[in-house]
Structure 1
Amino acid sequence: MKVDVAVIGAGAAGCAAAATLAPFASVALIDRVVDPGWRIGETLPGAARRVLIAIGAWERFAAAGHAEAPLKVSRWGSEEAVSLDAFRDPDGVGWRLDRARFERDLRADAVARGAMLIAPAAVEALVRTASGWTIALDTGEALDAHLVIDAGGRRSRLLRAYGQRRMATDKLACAYQRVRQRGEDPATYTEAVPDGWWYTAALADGRRVIAFHGDSDQPMLRQVLEEGPSNAAQRVPGLAAAIGDIDPADASSSALCAAHSAAGSAAGRGWFTAGDCTMSLDPLSSQGLFNALVTGMEAGEAARALLGGNAAAIQGHATRIARIWHAYLAHHRTYYAMERRWPAAPFWQRRSIAASPMR
């Protein structure tokens, strides 16, 4: 099978890339799973409306009825709780997503615009050829593509042999758990503590996510994971009050995921990257999904330009992604610098040092 572009990964970034390209080129969208499941990362800012409109996904998104996220509350830099009303945001109120529904709808939008979804399928080999790429799948099929967009997430290493480089700027990881919520509070809540910071928010299915973020080489993260975030959170007074009445008997198993800031090469000869594969953001920014959509759309536009004969599209995409990364780093440093209550704690000492720039 021959296509113009193979997009590897059908998450938010891959779907945005495929939806951007599909009206103008033949696109294969490849993913390991048929039906997306729940994943941590459940909020989207109002600014995403513009991107969803641009990739043809707004109508289905609006019809899904995702709940609004009108309020953010944080204890950061002091014991005082500070509220940020999203109605004051010029882009409007954001959303608390049904994440699985969101990703299913993005896939449907990409297919409706002309992309071919291949799932379940995993890439077993990626080989550069004279005309582009040959992609061997674990299904026994093979694709020939002129270009590849890797949107396979922060763990993807498919393009390492072809010049993609990646670096992490910290060791942040997240221990999280979902619990059944009695009642519903639409606010998201963040609280800094000596060894890291906590986050909690109501989910679309009536549950609540409770998450602790700390460094992977520090003991507190392991302690929270073993005890269970819902139990450990009860010892943090402000957090316990925000969580309110939960049913610990109906809690999911504790889970751990990487949450560090990382950046990678965004483009090379015949390839582009998007989403966490090119740039992974600290969840404190609450911009992970938004970043995935934006970088996916950018990769799709760059691939279209390159197919049209614009050789400068490779460097252009790399330059745009670098600008996004540097803007993120500035915001990241500013926000962590606001917390000065535990200057001797290893977690906060590390974040007082400026992050390295992307190379």
Structure 2
Amino acid sequence: MDQLTTDVCIAGRGPAGIIAARQLVLAGFSVIIIDNPSHKIHKFGETLPGSAIRLLTKLGLQSVIEALQKDQNLHQDYSPRVSGNMSFWGSETALFTDALQDPYGFGLRIDRQVFDALLAQHAQIDKIPQFSTNILDLKKIDNNWNVHLECGTSISAKWIIDATGRSAKISRLLGIERHRGIPLVALYRSCTPEKNISFNKTIISSDKNGWLYAGKISESHWVMGYHTTPKTASTLHNNAQNWNSILGKNTTISGLLGHLELKKDIYAHDVRSAWLKQGLGDGWIACGDALLAFDPIAGQGLFNAIYTGMKAVENIIQSAKDKHSQAQYLAEINRVIKTYENRRYALYKQEQRWLNSAFWKAHQTTTD
């Protein structure tokens, strides 16, 4: 069995893990990344908000944004600017928001696979030792973690970072309690609209059993997402007739985009709110969706991943100097959770047209 030693072991290679790895190396720490590709879920059509673009620039990673826009010009497989939102929420009348009024500016609608690859490339994490395998168990021995991998390697690390996304693999191994919010499933499909294919705002439209998200992801393709209860999602999965019924009844979507040519593949994700009751402990810390995962209505998942990845590293650096740094980190995370939950509740409460709907009844309740 191979035995390796490092300062920090990072579990997960999404945006939070990539940012954490880069910042640690810049601070002089040795790092090993562990990522199990079998746990990857297909993601596409997300929005990189202006706040996240500004944060990447602050971190010296503006080249990622430049690469996305360069790809747009060269390959037509691009990240178009998102000029704002067009919402049909609580009314059949459209409500517009404009990126010009956003203090952080425009966002980009990205292909997540492309974005993650570019972020890893420009963060220059290729020289960091990486294992594509699963973590079987971990134990704290004296002041170090002993991490046992499925491939047979054992790693000794002073710190371990849980950046494993919504699975929160490390936190589960440690027995950390996790809050899980109201069940919410997102079904995503790519499609080609009949008209207004160049429209560059995100469209959000509610209906009796959930809400729809639509946005342009390339020259000829859009992403369509339906967010609903697990029961409704099961009836829609791989059932074109039911999808056409949902879209046909939504006059706002059909009126704007006309007939939608839906692609075959459907991707289902559990997207309920979730967060750890304890986000860090002796020699370990969580970031990204492993720490706190937002309902997609918040539109801040990527900002949260980048920001908490950065803050996790700041906490590791400060922990040796300031015994109060952990308490400060937890206090900040708790403020973020409270602000998010208040906003989530307020947004769902704005929809008053289907008060007897099981979906809206559930999502118009506060959580503890």
**TM-score if structure 2 supplies the norm length?**
0.88
Deviation at 1:115, TM superposition (A): 6.4
Which residue matches 2:168?
Answer: 156
Which residue matches 2:355?
Answer: 343
Deviation readout 1:230-265 (Å, 9 max, x if unpaired): 5232331112233435433xx132221101011112
**1:242 lines up with 2:256 in the alignment:** yes
Which residue matches 1:280?
Answer: 293
**1:50 lines up with 2:54 in the alignment:** yes
- The structure 1 residue matched to 2:17, chosen from 14, 18, 27, is 14
Which residue matches 2:239?
Answer: 227
Contact 2:44 2:110 in 1 (8 A): no
Which residue matches 2:222?
Answer: 208
Deviation readout 1:173-222 (Å, 9 max, x if unpaired): 11221224564322211111111111111113742211111122xx4222
**1:74 lines up with 2:94 in the alignment:** no
Structure 1 segment 127-138 matched on structure 2, within 5 A: 127-138=139-150
Across the aligned residues of Structure 1 and Structure 2, the Cα RMSD in angstroms comes to 2.2
Deviation readout 1:283-318 (Å, 9 max, x if unpaired): 011111111111111111111222x34333322222
Q: 1:28 to 1:54 in 2, by over 3 A?
A: farther
Once the two structures are aligned, what percentage of the paired residues are identical?
27
Question: Aligned partners of 1:61, 1:311: CA distance in 2, in Å?
Answer: 37
Which residue matches 1:121?
Answer: 133
Structure 1 segment 302-341 matched on structure 2, within 5 A: 302-306=315-319, 308-341=320-353
Query: Which residue identity lines up with residue 47 of structure 2 in the other structure?
Result: T
Question: Aligned partners of 2:46, 2:14: CA distance in 1, in Å?
Answer: 13
Deviation readout 1:127-149 (Å, 9 max, x if unpaired): 22212212222232222110011
Contact 2:184 2:272 in 1 (8 A): yes
Query: Which residue identity lines up with residue 22 of structure 1 in the other structure?
Result: V
Contact 1:133 1:145 in 2 (8 A): yes
| SS of residue in 1 equivalent to 2:115 | helix
Deviation readout 1:137-177 (Å, 9 max, x if unpaired): 22322221100110101112322353522011211111221
Contact 2:193 2:261 in 1 (8 A): yes
Deviation at 1:117, TM superposition (A): 4.6
Question: Aligned partners of 1:53, 1:17: CA distance in 2, in Å?
Answer: 16
- The structure 2 residue matched to 1:103, chosen from 104, 116, 124, is 116
Gaps of 5+ in 1: none
Deviation at 1:7, TM superposition (A): 1.1
Gaps of 5+ in 2: 70-78
Q: How many residues align?
A: 349
**1:63 lines up with 2:67 in the alignment:** yes
Question: Aligned partners of 2:118, 2:251: CA distance in 1, in Å?
Answer: 39
Structure 1 segment 284-303 matched on structure 2, within 5 A: 284-303=297-316
More displaced, 97-106 or 334-343?
A: 97-106
| SS of residue in 2 equivalent to 1:213 | strand
Question: Aligned partners of 1:283, 1:277: CA distance in 2, in Å?
Answer: 15
More displaced, 148-157 or 234-243?
A: 234-243
Query: Which residue identity lines up with residue 295 of structure 1 in the other structure?
Result: T
- The structure 2 residue matched to 1:257, chosen from 269, 274, 285, is 269
**1:29 lines up with 2:33 in the alignment:** yes
| SS of residue in 1 equivalent to 2:252 | helix
**TM-score if structure 1 supplies the norm length?**
0.90
Contact 2:85 2:97 in 1 (8 A): yes
Contact 1:7 1:150 in 2 (8 A): yes
Deviation at 1:105, TM superposition (A): 1.9
Contact 1:75 1:81 in 2 (8 A): yes
Contact 2:11 2:170 in 1 (8 A): no
Question: Aligned partners of 2:331, 2:264: CA distance in 1, in Å?
Answer: 42
Contact 2:63 2:122 in 1 (8 A): no
Contact 1:27 1:115 in 2 (8 A): no
Query: Which residue identity lines up with residue 360 of structure 2 in the other structure?
Result: W
Contact 1:7 1:149 in 2 (8 A): yes
Deviation at 1:334, TM superposition (A): 1.1
Contact 2:45 2:215 in 1 (8 A): no
Deviation at 1:226, TM superposition (A): 4.1
Question: Aligned partners of 2:109, 2:224: CA distance in 1, in Å?
Answer: 15
Query: Which residue identity lines up with residue 303 of structure 1 in the other structure?
Result: I
Q: 1:256 to 1:277 in 2, by over 3 A?
A: same
